[in-house]
């Protein structure tokens, strides 16, 4: 028994059976899908608005193309819930983002229909081109289809992909799912340009690209061509016109109404028949079919559980590291005119909306473009500005070279507010913020703070913007603070004295470490405890303290290689590091901390084991 | 006395005096500059062809704009030699790329006229926009000028910059120096597109953008407008037409003849007068004025010293790690049909021309687009292909996130041929290949080989493509092999036995380590020596060997943080790591190794010190 047995979809073999029904029946299934999406995401949390926008598009793709022989690459996977439902995963759809359940993104190890992993933005054209080139080499005539949200279209990788795909002699189709939103409102010239395209409704030329292409494909082509010719008004959008994407070498189809199945299928069939790189422009409405999400797609981009009737998502909360960061930076900026703030399409999620409202002239949302955000920061820094780039840990990875080349070599002063540092939970493997420590420490001229509570975040941020030099990162986890221990500081704090054993940690693990110490105390096992707040560079003073203990156990919520605990263990021979051994799957944060030895209980056990062994 | 006293330029105060002379006199100075460039680079080595192409453009920029109040950002700095000459550095120009001499790229710490560092490609628009936004905030009406070679125009960061710059309300001017070459021949749709623009010579419309803009700027505008109107034929290129760059929100000027000072200055004055984001398209000839370089600009891109008369550069050599890599990969590909090769605009420099000739259908030059190269490799790998991406160590930094997200999470098998790993010498700080080890080890599912000679490179490469799984990097230095020691292996080799002290190293440091051992031997100080070839992951077997010694000194040509020696020292308490402490300046490789403790003499001394101390 599945929760979805009442739906027609549950009795179909998918995606195969989608080709056996007519458009009307397919449209009815789209209604079912919307119900399932709203019902499920209201319980599991997840990306609602973007998925409501792609219901018909996904249906049309699976009716026109033949997955998994045709390969569909979603950019990013958070618009692919309908794809999951239509490729045999409906029975498990209520496990979405849950422990041992379906991923919130596409994963090749979850389904043969997920042609490529897709958690980070702007990757699909490049990945699909690789797939298309491999198909070409094998004489395989199937298509590689990249479905790209317009938010992803600001990422440089998307352009690198287009530049190579447009001139490739492959069957690659790039579908731009254009809803004029990235995560918050789109920014930049590309958005403006797409918006202009979107509102155009007639590009009349004597002979369209589509028609020319269809002339070459007699069997499939003729009927479609006839349809196009006979319905200039109803189907007016599939017509030749000059776009930036044609400059890149693509044939162009669109704009198509992304909620009109008939129009979508005709357009996609035309694209398929061309057998060359084709760019298909589809207009969708983010949140389509659920009024609260249509009205407020930003709030329904990524949501926790919510009440369907009122549509109240629990997204905007003042009790989070992000909001404390945004408010504190705004306060600091009142006194220090040199502070500018930068985000890559995450104005709300990083808490910077507060800053943007107070100082619109010193705030830049650059769109999904982390590389630019960092090099742009370099340009500001060259002029004496103090740029503060607020970015998720996992997305900072995009800017490694820019940090090295455009900030570190010149030793410019720039601050990163690294949000979602550490394990993020249900967003999973592609989004865990576990590499920023190794990334930043592998670059010279960097300083890293990892506050364990809001007060420390405020102290660290103030010091980062007003006192420090070079690249200064303040990293903090998703969500709200939990109890820490000891005095608030931006350096380090040692509690206890006289024990043989020392527990060292930083950031939100301070909560569990303090509890671990209490557990040990209850067993009459004494240990001291130290929190690091300025975790890097390595400090002689801390080495001195550590060296005084018999056993030191350093717990760290970061990938082991390049971690702070690894560094202290290379310098102090008595340090046992406990950190993350590799990629981390999706599951609740507490579950993942526990299975990696970082719950209070596991910490206490580890300490006891080490004490007993020495 | 300077070598350049005979030139008029040497008696001028630059750039100020450039504004006091007429165009004819400025043209004569351009002749002097060409002589100086050819004469100097023939002795020092460096980038010749690109600099010969930008002589008039640079002259025009410095005559029209007012550096350093106007900020000029070069993308990349290897086209900026004339800029160095024209900004007070002629007297030191013969020290170019020499120890303690001028850098081959732009450096803010070298001159106030170098507005931003520029070694890596595609950064200038973003950096200039940061500068322009800071100017705007300060009420400064000067211009930020990004001069971008068309090779850099394929990099995603360039597009991210354009997307944000086009809609900015700043005085940013982007000058595209279009010579239809990146380092080798340009690839991709953008190149084709630019090539089409380049050959257009009339875009007649009733009222040009330039004219419209000039209407708004009465003082400067009128005379220029008159000039434009009265010289439609001679000055036909500054006219409105529809380009991709206008889609990005720029006003467009061009194409201008990049070797016609008069046309350049008029065009730049028009752009300056617009006071908004302007895109200026300039056509230049790479190698202009030196027939051997004009004929063969690829060979004269980056050269060692050469003979002016014959124009024979010593670029293409069969005795290099690069060529051995290219030949061996071609041989392996004959037997293994799954091997594909990818380069980012470095077909010759990475030795892949051999492969490209043998297997054109399995070879992809993606242009300067390292992010795409890696994600594209992921797409190929998803289809069972074994992609081999040959890339300079320093440029692999561009693809950190793609390595994590598009290869490592899915554990795809992909091979990197990491060329120019380690210190590269005269290209300097921006190009040193000293971060790839820390970068790759900070990512799960990676393997790294560092062969110490050609035979080992062949062994490692074969194993990497045919036997290994996951991400496998084979890294090797610039230039040719030097004597190593012991048997050829792709694992490790231990020489000696019974000593208290062990020297460990890898890669080309094997040469110096063997010599260090000999120096110690002459003093009757015994030590064993081990070369690692498969340097990562860390091996239990090697830990076992290391643990048996009293002292282990691990010499490594990589940045200390995240290095292999750091990892062994965290696992084995008797290891002393000696690696690179930070960014490394430009100078000959041997000089830099010595000053960082990695010459044979310094290694021997270090070992002696440690032995004496214990």
Cβ atoms A181, A297 nearer than 8 A: yes
A8-295 CATH fold: Rossmann fold (3.40.50)
% of residues, chain B, pLDDT over 70:
87
B450: tokens are 């560092």
Nearest CA in chain B to A582: B444
B189 touches chain A (CB under 8 A): yes
- Put simply, the answer to whether A127 touches B379 (Cβ < 8 Å) is yes
CATH number of A492-613: 3.40.50.920
Q: How far apart are CA A229 and CA A238, in angstroms?
A: 10
Higher pLDDT pick, B225 / A507: A507
For residues A30, A35, A37, A38, the Cα torsion angle rounded to the nearest 10 degrees is 140
Exposed/middle/buried for A208, CB within 10 Å: 0-12, 13-18, 19+? buried
Can you tell me the distance from the alpha carbon of B141 to that of A385, in angstroms, rounded to the nearest whole number? 17
Cβ contacts (< 8 Å) between B439 and chain A: which residues? Answer: 400, 442
CB spacing of A379 vs B566 below 8 angstroms: no
pLDDT score recorded for residue A576: 96
pLDDT at A522: 98
pLDDT number for residue A313: 52
Taking the Cβ of residue A281 and every Cβ of chain B, the question of whether any pair is shorter than 8 Å is answered with: no
Q: Per-residue pLDDT averaged across B1-5, rounded?
A: 80
Which listed residue (A32, A211, A299, A370) is catalytic?
A370
Q: Using an 8 Å CB-CB cutoff, list chain A residues near B130.
A: 375-383, 385, 387
Task: Find which of B145, B182, B189, B443 to mutate to test the A interface (most A CBs within 10 Å of its CB).
Answer: B189
- Chain B residue closest to A385 (CA)? B134
The partner residue sitting opposite B380, judged by closest CB among A130, A155, A561, is A130
> Residues spanned by CATH 3.40.50.920 within chain B?
492-613
B98 or A292, which is more confident?
B98
Whether residues B126 and A379 touch (CB distance < 8 A) is answered with yes
Q: What is the pLDDT of residue B318?
A: 77
pLDDT in tens, B445-488: 999 999 999 999 999 999 999 999 999 999 999 999 999 999 99
Confidence category of residue B246, pLDDT binned at 50, 70, 90: confident
Cβ neighbours of A229 (radius 10 Å): 11
DSSP codes joined into one string, A459-522 = HHHHHHHHT--SEEEEE--SS------S---SSEEEE--S-SEEEEEETTHHHHHHHHHHHHHH
**Interface A-B: count of C-beta contacts within 8 A:** 330
Catalytic residue, chosen from B56, B265, B328, B370, is B370
A chain contacts of residue B162, beta-carbon cutoff 8 Å: 189
Q: Is A526 a catalytic residue?
A: no
B505 in Cβ contact with B552 (< 8 Å): no
- Percentages helix, strand, coil for chain A, rounded to the nearest 5? 45, 15, 40
Contact B157 A154 (CB under 8 A): no
Residue B220 pLDDT:
41
- Chain A residue numbers with beta carbons less than 8 Å from the beta carbon of B577 are 570
A277 at interface of B, judged by CB pairs closer than 8 A: no
Segments of chain A with pLDDT less than 70: 1, 180-243, 298-299, 301-302, 305, 307, 309-317
Report the distance separating Cα B150 and Cα B189, nearest Å: 12
Which residues in A35-71 are b (16+ Cβ under 10 Å) and which e? ebbbebbbebbbbbbbbbbbbbbbbbbbbbbebeebb
Out of B107, B266, B398, B517, pick the active-site residue.
B398
Helical residues (DSSP H) of A336-412, grouped into ranges: 353-358, 370-382, 393-396, 400-402
Contact A404 B435 (CB under 8 A): yes
What part of B 310-369 touches A (C-beta under 8 Å)? 340, 361-362, 364, 366-367, 369
pLDDT at A227: 42
CB contact at 8 A, B144 and B71: yes
Where in chain A do CATH 3.40.50.970 domains reside?
Answer: 8-295, 321-475
Widest CA span of chain B, in angstroms? 89
Query: Of A347, A398, A534, A567, which residue is the catalytic one?
Result: A398
Q: Say yes or no: A190 contacts chain B, CB-CB below 8 A.
A: yes
Inter-chain CB proximity A406 and B362 less than 8 Å: no
Report DSSP state, residue B444: S
Residue-wise pLDDT for B553-564, tens only, equals: 999 999 999 999
Residue B223 in tokens: 């005379």
Is residue A123 less than 8 Å (CB to CB) from chain B? yes
Q: Do the chains contact at A154 and B137, CB–CB below 8 Å?
A: no
Cβ neighbours of residue A388 under 8 Å, at least 6 residues apart? Answer: A329, A339, A340, A341, A342, A414, A415, A416, A417, A465
Q: How far apart are CA A19 and CA A190, in angstroms?
A: 36
Q: How many CA within 13 A on the CB side of residue B198?
A: 18
Which of the residues B341, B570, B586 would you substitute to probe the A interface, choosing the one with the greatest number of A C-beta atoms within 10 Å?
B570
* Domain B321-475 sits in CATH 3.30.9.10: no
Averaged pLDDT score across all residues of chain B = 89
Q: Does A430 reach chain B within 8 Å, measured CB to CB? A: yes
Query: Closest Cα of chain A to B184: distance in Å?
Result: 16
Nearest chain A residue to B247 by CA: give it: A193
Q: Measured between CB atoms, does B402 come within 8 Å of chain A? A: yes
Tokens, residue B178:
């279009």
Q: What is the distance in angstroms between the Cα of A513 and the nearest Cα belonging to chain B?
A: 23
Contact A159 B159 (CB under 8 A): yes
Matching residue, tokens 């999406």: A37
Which DSSP string do the residues of B33-73 spell out, in sequence order?
A: HHHHHHHHHHHH-B--HHHHHTHHHHHHHHHHS-TTTSEEE
Structure tokens at B221: 């505008």
Q: Which of A89, A225, A272, A286 is catalytic?
A: A286
Look at residue B311 and tell me whether its pLDDT is greater than 90. no
Q: Are B432 and B584 in contact (CB under 8 A)?
A: yes
Q: With CB atoms and an 8 Å threshold, state whether B375 touches A402.
A: no
CB A186 within 8 A of CB A158: no
The ipTM, to two decimals, is 0.91
Rounded Cα distance between A317 and A319, Å, is 5
For the question of residue A294 being annotated catalytic, the response is no
* Interchain contact A176–B (C-beta under 8 A): no
- Say whether A190 and B129 touch across the interface (CB within 8 A): no
Q: Which of B116, B566, B583 sits opposite A570 (nearest CB)?
A: B566
Q: Above pLDDT 90, what percent of chain B?
A: 77
CB contact B382 to A (< 8 Å): yes
Hey, is the C-beta of B35 within 8 angstroms of any chain A C-beta? no
Domain with CATH 3.40.50.970 in chain B: 8-200+258-287, 321-475
Q: Is 50 exceeded by the pLDDT of residue B337?
A: yes
pLDDT digits (tens, 9 = 90+) for B123-171: 999 999 999 999 999 999 999 999 998 889 899 999 999 999 998 999 9
CA distance A226 to chain B (A): 32
Q: Supply the angle between the helices B370-382 and A124-137 in degrees, to the nearest 10.
A: 50
How confident is the model at residue A197, as a pLDDT?
57
Dist. CA A599–CA A491, nearest whole Å: 24
Contacting residues of B for A562, CB less than 8 Å apart: 438, 441-442, 561-562
Tell me the chain B residues in contact with residue A163 when contact means C-beta distances shorter than 8 Å: 154, 188-190, 367, 369, 372
φ, ψ for residue B554 (rounded to 5)? -110, 110
Asked whether the beta carbons of residue B406 and residue A117 sit closer than 8 angstroms, the reply is yes
Distance from CA of B206 to the nearest CA of A (A): 21
Quick check: is B331 catalytic?
no
Q: How far apart are CA A157 and CA A129, in angstroms?
A: 12
Asked if B74 reaches chain A (Cβ–Cβ under 8 Å), the answer is no
Helices (H), B138-260: 156-165, 188-199, 209-215, 218-230, 244-247
Residue of B186, B261, B269, B182 whose CA lies nearest to B221? B269
**Is CATH 3.40.1410.10 correct for B8-200+258-287?**
no
A112 touches chain B (CB under 8 A): no
Task: Tell me if chain B has a CB within 8 Å of the CB of A498.
Answer: no
Peptide bond into A76 cis (omega under 30): yes
Interface check for A443 against chain B (CB to CB < 8 A): the answer is yes
Q: Which residue of B has its CA nearest to A371?
A: B157
Cis check for the bond before B255: say yes or no (omega within 30 of 0).
Answer: yes
Structure-model confidence comparison of residues A472 and B196, the more confident one: A472
Which residues of chain B are within 8 Å of residue A133 when distances are taken between CB atoms? 340, 364, 376, 379-380
């Amino acid at each position: 028994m599945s929760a979805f047995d009442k739906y027609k979809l549950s009795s179909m073999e998918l995606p195969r059976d989608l080709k056996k029904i007519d458009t009307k029946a397919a449209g009815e299934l789209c209604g079912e899908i919307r119900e399932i999406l709203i019902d499920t995401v209201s319980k599991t949390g997840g990306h609602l608005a973007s998925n409501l926008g792609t219901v018909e598009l996904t249906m049309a793709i699976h009716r026109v193309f033949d997955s998994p022989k045709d390969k569909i690459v979603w950019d990013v996977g958070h618009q692919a819930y309908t794809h999951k439902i239509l490729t045999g995963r409906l029975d498990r759809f209520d496990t979405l983002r849950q422990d041992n359940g379906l991923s919130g993104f596409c994963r090749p190890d979850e389904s043969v229909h997920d042609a490529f992993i897709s958690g980070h933005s702007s990757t699909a054209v490049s990945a699909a081109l690789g797939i298309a080139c491999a198909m070409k080499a094998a004489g395989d005539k199937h298509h590689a289809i990249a479905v790209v949200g317009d938010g992803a279209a600001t990422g440089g990788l998307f352009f690198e992909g287009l530049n190579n795909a447009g001139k490739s002699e492959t069957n690659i189709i790039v579908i731009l799912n254009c809803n004029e939103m990235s995560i918050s409102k789109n920014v930049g010239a590309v958005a403006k340009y797409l918006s202009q395209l979107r509102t155009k409704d007639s590009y009349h030329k004597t002979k369209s690209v589509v028609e020319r292409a269809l002339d070459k494909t007699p069997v499939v082509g003729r009927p479609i061509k006839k349809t196009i010719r006979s319905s200039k008004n109803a189907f007016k959008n599939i017509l030749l016109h000059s776009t930036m994407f044609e400059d890149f070498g693509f044939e162009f189809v669109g704009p198509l109404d992304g909620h009109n199945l008939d129009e979508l299928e005709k357009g996609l069939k035309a694209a398929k028949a061309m057998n060359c790189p084709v760019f298909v422009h589809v207009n969708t409405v983010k949140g389509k079919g659920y009024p609260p999400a249509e009205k407020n797609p930003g709030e329904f981009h990524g949501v926790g559980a919510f009440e369907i009737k009122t549509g109240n998502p629990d997204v905007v909360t003042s009790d989070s590291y992000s909001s404390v960061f945004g408010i504190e930076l705004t306060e600091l900026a009142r006194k220090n005119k040199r502070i500018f703030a930068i985000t890559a399409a995450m104005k709300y999620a990083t808490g910077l909306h507060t800053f943007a409202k107070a100082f619109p002239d010193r705030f830049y949302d650059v769109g999904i473009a982390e590389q630019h955000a960092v090099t742009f920061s370099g340009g500001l820094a060259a002029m004496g500005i103090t740029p503060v780039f607020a970015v998720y840990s996992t997305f900072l990875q995009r800017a490694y070279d820019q940090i090295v080349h455009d900030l570190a070599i010149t030793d410019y002063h720039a601050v990163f507010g690294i949000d979602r540092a550490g394990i993020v939970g249900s967003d999973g493997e592609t989004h865990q913020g576990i590499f920023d420590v190794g990334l930043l420490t592998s670059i010279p001229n960097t300083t890293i703070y990892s506050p364990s509570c809001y007060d420390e975040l405020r102290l660290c941020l103030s010091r980062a913007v007003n006192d420090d030099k070079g690249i200064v990162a303040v990293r903090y986890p998703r969500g709200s603070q939990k109890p820490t221990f000891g005095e608030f500081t931006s350096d380090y704090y040692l509690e206890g004295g006289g024990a043989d054993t020392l527990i060292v940690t930083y950031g939100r693990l301070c909560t569990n470490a303090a509890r671990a110490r209490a557990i040990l105390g209850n067993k009459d096992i004494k240990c001291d405890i130290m929190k690091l707040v300025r975790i890097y560079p390595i400090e002689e003073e801390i080495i001195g303290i550590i060296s005084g203990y018999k056993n030191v156990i350093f717990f760290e919520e970061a990938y082991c290689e390049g971690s702070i605990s690894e560094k202290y263990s290379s310098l102090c021979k008595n340090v046992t590091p406990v950190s993350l051994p590799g990629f981390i799957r999706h599951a609740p944060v507490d579950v993942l901390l526990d299975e990696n030895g970082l719950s209070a209980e596991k910490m206490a056990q580890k300490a006891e084991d080490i004490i007993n062994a020495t």
